[in-house]
Structure 1
Amino acid sequence: MGSVYIAPIRLAILEADTPVPGIKAKYGSYGGVFKYLFERACASLNPPQPLSALLELSSHDIVNHPGDAYPDPETIDAILITGSKYSAYDNDDWIVRLTQYTRRCLEGGRVRVIGVCFGHQIVGRALGVEVGKNVRGWEISVTEHELTEEGKKLFGMQKLAIHQMHRDQVFSLPPGAVQLARTDVCDVQAMYIPQRCITVQGHPEFTDDMVREILEMRRYGGILGPDIFEDGMRRVSNKHDGVAVARAFLRFLRQ
């Protein structure tokens, strides 16, 4: 008997921001950044796989073209909501529309949802929990996470380190969600509802070059103070597990 052909998962990347200039020049958009992440994840599988065998990616600018950006849920298998400089608790038209679309996908039960940073917070909002500013302040650069037992199983490791770039947070777990990771600054770092959603507060897609540029822009823009900036720059080149998180995303999509 021949092997059974499994069609690639149709993953729509909902771009909630435009990258900073250096990232934009190299990758085009956040869709390109996530394509690069998933290419590395597919290449790291045993045996290695080409991206096209596992995923069929499309990118959608939901900030500048919200009226016609959203794919019909019938034409996709999953969405990934990217990070953003905006706040998931604001009521700008496009943020409200994104929350409604995410809720529709979650309630429909067929389209899987991946949330990253801002996307993690949008999923929290869509599932009815509070999202807001973290009084403990910023988390930036490579940050170590404590994994729950479920997190260790899901990510396939005992502890996790990924890039962070946030000051907002999801305050509590939505009904039915399992906590995967926490830090001292932010308790809900990653959450999971089997066959429905997986989200991370950190940025598995970021590399040290990307984070260095973002830190420098935010430092010179007055968003980050010198102490926070220098602390982030000290850790920016530390080893991180972004590709392992992307492999967990692939397993989630195939469940």
Structure 2
Amino acid sequence: MPQLPLRIAVLECGAPLPKTASKYGGYGGVFKALLNSAADTLSHPVLSSSSDLAITSFDVENAQVYPSLEDIDAILITGSKFNAFDNDPWIVKLVEFVQVILKQRRVRIIGVCFGHQIVGRAMGVKVYRSEEGWEASVTAMDLTKRGQEIFGKSALALHQMHRDIVYEYPEGVEALAYTEKCAVQGMYVSKRFITVQGHPEFNEEIVREILDTRHTLGIFDAATYQEMLARVDKYQDGVVVAQAFLRFLLEE
């Protein structure tokens, strides 16, 4: 059994919008709130409470600071407004860091949205703009048989906020979930990594701010904005997915 507390390094691949930042700080704070909630509701025989999590944050976009592997048990790569397929120096550095972790056996990886795509890129598969356009707000997802086992449900709903996708599953990776617009919604290798294209850390408040901002900027036209807004308050399984993240970290 992995030793407690679980030492999770959140690699922040950007900054949240002002309202979210004022409440949570960076994306590390958003994920800390989610993971603490998941730990407190997991009813796991070992992970008894959020006090068993040691969550630290690293700004890998601007400061380009990374944890030492001996000081952590896992990294969690956040979402981002940037493209995982671009070659900005900080993105290339992040891909290379993930490749280093993939070559060892102890430190595990959680990838969310941009982070999910970075893992795909680090493993050599195509990551690029989707021909299907944006997938955003609360979205129903179909689960594979393995996905149903991992998440403990027959289907999931998660907030989405992306127009880039991982185009195929890397060799040896188990498929977890899919939607009409995105066939690669979740990737899994036991004791190595788990990723999701959706945003378990997002809630209605966070997504409303993103939708409003992107509508104002002209990224979402009026019809698209209204359609996304109509689903923003629907039920979503963020905590369920975060519980699966913690079970994954506790796998022996």
Q: Name the TM-score class by shorter chain.
A: over 0.9
Paired residue for 1:30, among 2, 24, 27? 27
Paired residue for 1:65, among 58, 63, 66? 63
Paired residue for 1:78, among 71, 74, 78? 74
* CA positional deviation for 1:50: 2.3
Number of residues paired by the alignment?
Answer: 249
Paired residue for 2:181, among 182, 185, 201? 185
TM-score using structure 1 length: 0.95
Q: Which residue of 2 aligns with 1:129?
A: 125
* CA positional deviation for 1:49: 3.3
CA distance in 2, matches of 1:253, 1:211: 27
CA distance in 1, matches of 2:223, 2:202: 22
Q: Which residue identity does 1:136 align to in structure 2?
A: E
Q: Which residue of 2 aligns with 1:51?
A: 50
Secondary structure, aligned partner of 1:83: coil
CA RMSD of aligned residues (A): 1.3
* Structure 1 unmatched runs, 5+: none
CA distance in 2, matches of 1:210, 1:117: 15
Secondary structure, aligned partner of 1:87: coil
Q: Which residue identity does 2:15 align to in structure 1?
A: T
* Structure 2 unmatched runs, 5+: none
* CA positional deviation for 1:42: 1.3
Structure 1 segment 86-235 matched on structure 2, within 5 A: 86-235=82-231
Q: Which residue of 2 aligns with 1:21?
A: 18
TM-score using structure 2 length: 0.96
Secondary structure, aligned partner of 1:70: coil
CA distance in 1, matches of 2:10, 2:3: 21
Worse-superposed segment, 88-97 or 104-113: 104-113
CA distance in 1, matches of 2:48, 2:6: 14
Secondary structure, aligned partner of 1:10: strand
User: Deviation string for 1:147-174 (max 9, x for gaps)?
Assistant: 0000000000010000000000000001
- Contact 2:200–2:242 (8 Å) recurs in 1: yes
CA distance in 1, matches of 2:184, 2:224: 22
Worse-superposed segment, 35-44 or 11-20: 35-44
Percent pairwise identity:
51
- Contact 2:200–2:239 (8 Å) recurs in 1: yes
User: Deviation string for 1:218-237 (max 9, x for gaps)?
Assistant: 00011111111111100000
Secondary structure, aligned partner of 2:23: helix
